[in-house]
Amino acid sequence: MPLRIIFMGTPEFSVPTLAALAQAGHTIAAVYTQPPRPGGRRGLDLQKSPVHQAAELLGIPVLTPVNFKDAADRQVFRDFDADVAVVVAYGLLLPEEILSGTRLGCYNGHASLLPRWRGAAPIQRAIMAGDHETGMMVMKMDKGLDTGDVALTKVVAIGSETTAGELHDTLMLAGAGLMKDAMDKLDGGDLPLTPQAGHGVLYAAKISKAETRIDFGKTATEVHNHIRGLSPFPGAWFELEIGGKPERIKVLSSVVETAGGETGTALFDDLTIACGDGSVRLTRLQKAGGKALNAEDFRRGTPIAAGTRLA
The pLDDT-based confidence of 42 (bands split at 50, 70, 90) is low
Q: Is the pLDDT of residue 129 over 70?
A: yes
Please say if the pLDDT value at position 113 is more than 70: yes
Long-range pairs for 139-145: beta carbons < 8 A, 24 or more residues apart = 139/107, 139/108, 139/110, 139/114, 139/196, 140/105, 140/106, 140/107, 140/108, 140/193, 141/87, 141/94, 141/99, 141/105, 141/106, 141/107, 141/108, 142/99, 143/96, 143/99, 145/118, 145/119, 145/203
Closest CA relative to residue 227, chosen from 242, 212, 244: 212
Give the range of the structural domain holding residue 105, as residue numbers without chain letter: 4-203
253 is in an annotated binding site: no
Total domains, the chain: 2
Q: Average the pLDDT over 135-151 and give the result.
A: 97
186 a known binding residue? no
- In three state form, how does the secondary structure of 8-71 look? EECCHHHHHHHHHHHHCCCEEEEEECCCCEEECCCCCEEECCHHHHHHHHHCCCEECCCCCCCH
Q: Looking at the domain assignment, is residue 92 inside a domain?
A: yes
CA 298-301-306 angle, to 5 degrees, is 75
Band (95; pLDDT cuts 50, 70, 90): very high
Q: What is the pLDDT of residue 198?
A: 92
181-203, pLDDT tens digit by residue?
Answer: 999 999 999 999 999 999 999 99
Report whether 254 belongs to an annotated binding site.
no
Q: What letter represents residue 113's amino acid?
A: L
Q: Give the angle 54-58-60 at the CA atoms, nearest 5°.
A: 95
Among 187, 203, 219, give the residue marking a domain's end: 203
- Cα–Cα distance measured from residue 155 to residue 112, given in angstroms and rounded to the nearest whole number: 9
Reported pTM: 0.95
Distance CA 115, CA 201 (A): 5
The percentage of the chain sitting over the pLDDT mark of 70, rounded to a whole number, equals 99
What confidence score (pLDDT) does residue 36 get?
A: 95
The larger pLDDT score, comparing residue 243 to residue 25, is at: 25
pLDDT of residue 140: 98
Residues 22 and 96 grouped into a single domain: yes
For 219-237, how does the pLDDT look when each residue is reduced to its tens digit (9 = 90+)?
A: 999 999 999 999 999 999 9
- 98 and 128, same structural domain? yes
Supply the pLDDT for residue 9. Answer: 98
Percent of the chain topping pLDDT 90 = 94
Give the chain's end-to-end CA distance (angstroms, integer): 61
Q: Do 71 and 155 sit in the same domain of this protein?
A: yes
Spell out the alpha helix ranges (H) of 146-219: 164-188
Q: Are residues 194 and 244 in the same domain?
A: no
Average pLDDT of span 101-110: 98
Amino acid 53: pLDDT: 98
Residue 118 has pLDDT above 70, yes or no: yes
Question: Looking at residue 44, what is its pLDDT?
Answer: 72
One domain, residues 198 and 274: no
The answer to whether residues 110 and 137 touch, using CB atoms and an 8 Å cutoff, is yes
Q: What is the pLDDT of residue 45?
A: 84
DSSP conformation class of 4: E
102: pLDDT strictly greater than 90: yes
pLDDT value at residue 311: 78
Is residue 309 a part of any domain in this protein?
no
Rounded Cα distance between 197 and 250, Å, is 38
Residues 141 and 88 reside in one and the same domain: yes
Mean pLDDT, the chain, as a whole number? 96
115 among annotated binding-site residues:
yes
pLDDT-derived band at 39, boundaries 50, 70, 90? confident
Report the CATH number at residue 84.
Answer: 3.40.50.170
